Amino acid sequence: MARSRAERAAARKVRDRWRAKNWYTIVTPQMFAFKHIAETPADDPSKLLGRVAEVTLYELTGNFKKMHVKLYFQIAKVQGNMALTKFTGHETTSDYIRRMVRRRRTRIDAIFPVDTVDGYRVQVNVIAIADRRIKSSLKSAVRKAIVDHVVNKGSDMRFSEFVKYMLSDEAPAELSRVVKPVYPVIRIDIHKSEVLREPTDVVIELPEEEVEESSSAEAEEATS
C-alpha cells in the first residue's frame, strides 16, 4: 500500500512538471525567412538557450533533391513563445557520401576556414571524387584550386549570402569548372560546414509582424 501511494505521488509530480511547461516554436533566422521548424517544451525559457534543432533543406525549401542535407540551428534567444535561432552549420548524410565514393575512385577532401566580409569564420569541408586513382600531386592541385576559389568567394560575401551559396547548386557547378583544368572530377560538393566565430554585435530579432502574431497567439491561449 505504501509503495502504491509513493508511486501515485511520483506520477503526480511528473504530471505537475509537464503542466508547468510551456511550448515554444523554434524559428529559423532571417536568412531562412523565419520559418517555424519545430516545437519544444520548457518550464523556464532560459533552459531553451543552446538547444540545437536539426532540419533537412528539403523541409525548408520543398526541393526533394535536398533531402540529404541536414541543417543545424541553435536557440540563441526567446521572444514571447518563439525560440529564435542562429545557423551553426550543415552536413550531408553518410549514405549520400557513400554513394559518391566507389572502388577505384579517388576521394579528395579539403577542410579549411573561410572569413566572410561581416566577420564570421566558417569551417568548410569540400569533397571531390575523381573517376580513377590519381597521383598525390594532382590531388594537392585540385585541393588548392578548391580552397582558393571558396576562400575568395566567401571573402566577398556576407555570412547569409555565403550560407546560401554553400547550400545551392551553384557552388558544385562553379567548383567543377574551377578544378576542370587541373583534373575533371566527376562529383564535388560542399558537404559540411561549421560556424567557428561570429561577431559580438549580432542582433537576433523577429520582425514586427511575427512579434504581433506571436502575442496574439499567446493571448488566445490565455483566454481559452
Please report the pLDDT score of residue 194 as a whole number. Answer: 98
Low-confidence ranges of the chain (pLDDT < 70): 1-20, 208-224
Global pTM reads 0.84
Alpha-carbon distance of 218 to 212, in angstroms, equals: 10
Please report the pLDDT score of residue 224 as a whole number. Answer: 44
Please report the pLDDT score of residue 212 as a whole number. Answer: 52
**Residue 109 C-alpha from the chain's centroid:** 20
The answer to whether the beta carbons of residues 149 and 110 sit under 8 Å apart is no
| pLDDT tens sequence across 5-15 | 655 555 555 45
Pairing of strands 36-42, 82-92: unpaired
Please report the pLDDT score of residue 207 as a whole number. Answer: 73
Please report the pLDDT score of residue 18 as a whole number. Answer: 54
| pLDDT tens sequence across 61-96 | 999 999 999 999 999 999 999 999 999 999 999 999
